[in-house]
Structure 1
Amino acid sequence: MPCIEVKTEIDADIEKCFDLARDVTFYQSTLKNPTEMAIGGKVSGLVQKGDFTLWETRHLYIHQHLTLKVTEFESPVLFVDEMIEGSFKSYKHQHIFKELQNKTLMIDRFYFESPYGVIGKLYDTFILKKHIKNLLVFRNAALKEKAEAL
């Protein structure tokens, strides 16, 4: 299963970064794709363990619905969201936060696997991995900018 890891150093306290990362309203405001939106479950505010959000989106010309659930939560150092329904064979996103001398290191670990066997593995390797990494880098830059401005 592919794993993407993105590390972002932020000149802001860990609680601020943690809360921005789990804020559905803020997340929607940072998306490159304006057609991605929360349409069910927790559609605004801060997610907690057990919360789920139904997302409607279009990526790489594919319209999809993903239901994500927060399965692990340890404030302010970790939360994990996993797909419970959607187009991936598997999907797990770990959001990890570490304090570094008045700064925060935010680590995203995104594990995913597409269906369709060998074709899905090729798609993951040559197309989807780069696309998801670009989305994470873009979103983390927006979170960094907001956290450092507060």
Structure 2
Amino acid sequence: MTTITLTTKIYASKQIVFDASRNISIHMQSASKTNEKAIAGITSGLINLDETVTWRGKHFGFYLTHKSRIPVMNFYDYFVDEMEEGKFKSFRHEHIYEEENGFTTMTDKLHYETPFGIFGKLFDILFLKKHLTNFLLERNKTLKKVSEKTDLALAEQKTK
């Protein structure tokens, strides 16, 4: 099993970051390089506990689908998405949020296992782990930008 852990500091409340993280449109925006689209289940708005979304995107030159469910959600601290159908042997993405001094620390813990034995492990080492890390970094960059812009707009509204 491979684990990727990333931490991103965002100058916004954890409620804003949490909601942005489960926003289908923001995910599609962050995954535009892979032309990822929500094609079934929740295809817009915010995904919630026990709901599913099926994504279709182009990775490594192939259009692939990946169906995830949200089996755990503790507002505004933590949620998990797990693969129900897709190309991985297993796939679990933990999203953790902690707020302190106006900043939210968002931690991603992505645990996955590739199929195809030694060939899957080799593919992971050579290509997949880097691809998924870059995919998450791009997602987090978009989440940071959107969340900080939203938080600033809300702060400006309060001063009027």
CA distance in 1, matches of 2:137, 2:96: 15
**1:129 maps onto 2:129 in alignment:** yes
CA distance in 2, matches of 1:100, 1:141: 20
2:119 counterpart residue number: 119
Structure 1 segments unaligned to the other structure (5+ residues): none
1:146 counterpart residue number: 146
CA drift of 1:149 comes to: 1.1
2:52 counterpart residue number: 52
Is the Cα contact below 8 Å between 1:37 and 1:57 reproduced in 2? Answer: yes
Given residue 51 of structure 2, which amino acid in structure 1 is its aligned partner? D
Deviations for 1:94-150, whole angstroms, at most 9, x for unmatched residues?
111011211100001111111100010111122100110011111101110111112
Instruction: Find the structure with the greater CA-based Rg.
Output: 2
CA distance in 1, matches of 2:58, 2:29: 16
Which secondary structure does the structure 2 equivalent of 1:124 belong to? helix
Identity %: 35
Deviations for 1:74-105, whole angstroms, at most 9, x for unmatched residues?
01011100000111111010111011211100
1:27 counterpart residue number: 27
Which secondary structure does the structure 2 equivalent of 1:27 belong to? helix
CA distance in 2, matches of 1:100, 1:135: 26
Aligned pairs for 1:63-74 within 5 A: 63-74=63-74
Aligned pairs for 1:6-45 within 5 A: 6-33=6-33, 35-45=35-45
The 1:34/1:62 distance shift into structure 2, 3 A limit, reads closer
Which secondary structure does the structure 2 equivalent of 1:142 belong to? helix
2:76 counterpart residue number: 76
Question: Under a length normalisation based on structure 2, what TM-score does the superposition of the two structures give?
Answer: 0.90
Is the Cα contact below 8 Å between 1:4 and 1:133 reproduced in 2? Answer: yes
CA drift of 1:33 comes to: 2.3
2:153 counterpart residue number: none
RMSD: 1.0
Deviations for 1:14-67, whole angstroms, at most 9, x for unmatched residues?
100000000011111221425210000000111111000011111112321111
Given residue 139 of structure 1, which amino acid in structure 2 is its aligned partner? R
Which secondary structure does the structure 2 equivalent of 1:33 belong to? helix
Which secondary structure does the structure 2 equivalent of 1:115 belong to? coil
CA distance in 2, matches of 1:116, 1:62: 18
Which secondary structure does the structure 2 equivalent of 1:149 belong to? helix
Higher helix share: 2
Which secondary structure does the structure 2 equivalent of 1:47 belong to? coil
- Equivalences, count: 150
